[in-house]
Amino acid sequence: MMTDRNRAIGLLAIAIVASATSWVAAKVGLTDATPVWYALGRAWLATLAGFALLLALGKFRRPTRADLPVILSVGTLQLGLFFMLINLGIARLPAGRSIVIAYTTTLWIVPLAGPLIGEWPNRRQLLGVAIGFAGVIVLLWPALRLIEGADGLAGYGFLLAAALSWALAILHARRHRWHLTPLQVMPWQMLYAAVLLIPLALLTEPGGRVGWSLTALVPLAFIGLVAGPLITWSTTSVARMLPAVAASLGFLLTPAAGIALSTLWLGEPLGLDLLFGAALVLAGAAVAILAARSAMEKTGARR
């Protein structure tokens, strides 16, 4: 009989594989689509999948006015802008490199948590941030040396902005007083993101498109209808079944899986700068997560 711990590990593995695969699929799909319109398509498909998932689970609820702030913040920052920005980045850079940069979210949270929600970092957390961003510099080095050119540098900028946007959404969600569960609010947030992306697509890519080809549509269907719901369901379940630190550290395996898949599936090169930079980013995030946990335990002991 499967124990809760084994089930949690299995769900964590599902979340990691689904997330890493979605990045590789997006890279494939963007060869026949423009980034913002592809984000729009993903958001609408994910909205339909999200409502279908809640109806199937019997957990569909209408949000109240009290849920509106988190619908707007997460819908704008973690979904709408994040989808758009990662597509703009991954269209310019290899998938494996892109996923590492996007996962600097943890590094952004540490310095922002103090001024925004009053959770001031300790020295070990700041050390983790320094290690992580040293890894970002390593990853940026080819662009800074103009090997990848201005287009590559713009790609890094979009991905770092995506990570920052996600971090801001997390910080707001942390302080929000939840009335519905995050899973119940999710499709409403996705719906808002899908509506928000319509004017953004029309303004930024007036001649944009999603090609009517298997190259574009199959990855889009996978990301929006399969990977999205799988990731949402599995990550929500893991967060409830595993300690926060264990779950956070476990999710850091996603960039490693993304690098492996992009190498095997897309044939992307494994350069030393990618391996060393990714190791620093993930090590820095791990240090920051563990340091935050240690600080919380000390605060609890004093109380």
Residues 67-80 as b/e (b if ≥16 CB within 10 A, e otherwise) read: beebbebbbbbbbb
Tokens of 271: 């350069």
Share of the chain above pLDDT 90, in %: 49
What is the three-class DSSP state of 78?
Answer: helix
- Asked whether 149 and 87 are in contact (CB, 8 A), the reply is no
- Say what the pTM is: 0.89
Count CB neighbours of 244 within 10 A. Answer: 12
Write the single-letter amino acid at 112: L
C-alpha distance from residue 188 to each of 51, 71, 110, 155, 280 (Å): 8, 7, 28, 29, 36
Residue 33 bridge partners (DSSP): 210
Residue 265 burial (CB count, 10 A)? 14
CB-neighbour burial class of residue 243 (10 A; exposed 0-12, middle 13-18, buried 19+): exposed
Percent above pLDDT 70 for the chain: 89
Mark the ranges of the chain whose per-residue pLDDT is less than 70: 1-4, 143-149, 236, 239-240, 242-246, 293-303
Contact 52, 254 (CB under 8 A): no
Supply the pLDDT for residue 44: 96
Q: How high is the pLDDT of residue 300?
A: 52
* Alpha-helix residue ranges (DSSP H) falling in the chain: 4-29, 35-57, 68-73, 82-90, 95-102, 105-117, 123-144, 149-175, 182-204, 214-221, 228-241, 244-251, 253-266, 272-302
Residue 226 tokens, joined: 């399969």
* Per-residue pLDDT, 1: 46
Do residues 153 and 92 make contact, with C-beta atoms less than 8 angstroms apart?
Answer: no
What integer pLDDT is reported at residue 61 of this predicted model?
Answer: 92
Contacts of 250 (CB under 8 A, 6+ apart): 12, 16, 238, 242
What's the whole-number average pLDDT of the chain?
A: 87
pLDDT, position 244: 61
Q: What is the pLDDT of residue 197?
A: 97
In whole angstroms, what separates CA 239 from the centre of its chain?
15
How does pLDDT run across 44-71, given as a tens digit for each residue?
999 999 999 899 989 999 998 889 999 9
Tokens of 178: 């939840």
